[in-house]
């Protein structure tokens, strides 16, 4: 009988801990750290890319991902070409 109480007590603690963490509020700070922007001729961050990328053909870097804090390119999501609105 004593071991049954211990088992039920441990189970209650486990269930209570699980429930507490299941309903705990998540981190609501959901800011983007990067974004896709057109590249200026000097490589700096230009206008944000909208729903469609206006870069056509091939050539120099037309748009790429930039870090929003430093405004430096991350060298990801590079699209080469010339912007043709």
Domain residue spans in the chain?
34-83
Contact 28, 52 (CB under 8 A): no
pLDDT above 90 for 5: no
Distance CA 45, CA 53 (A): 15
Q: What is the pLDDT of residue 84?
A: 85
Q: What is the pLDDT of residues 40-82, one digit of tens each?
A: 999 999 999 998 899 988 889 999 999 999 999 999 999 999 9
pLDDT above 80 for 85: no
Distance CA 70, CA 72 (A): 5
pLDDT above 50 for 22: yes
Q: What is the pLDDT of residue 28?
A: 47
Question: pTM to 2 decimals?
Answer: 0.60
Q: What is the pLDDT of residue 34?
A: 92
């Amino acid at each position: 009988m004593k071991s049954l109480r211990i088992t039920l007590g441990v189970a209650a603690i486990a269930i209570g801990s699980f429930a507490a963490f299941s309903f705990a509020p998540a981190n609501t700070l959901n800011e983007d750290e990067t974004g896709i922007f057109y590249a200026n001729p000097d490589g700096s961050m230009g206008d944000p890319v909208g729903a469609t990328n206006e870069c056509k053909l091939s050539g120099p870097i037309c748009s790429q991902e930039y870090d929003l804090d430093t405004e430096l390119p991350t060298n990801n999501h590079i699209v080469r070409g010339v912007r043709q609105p």
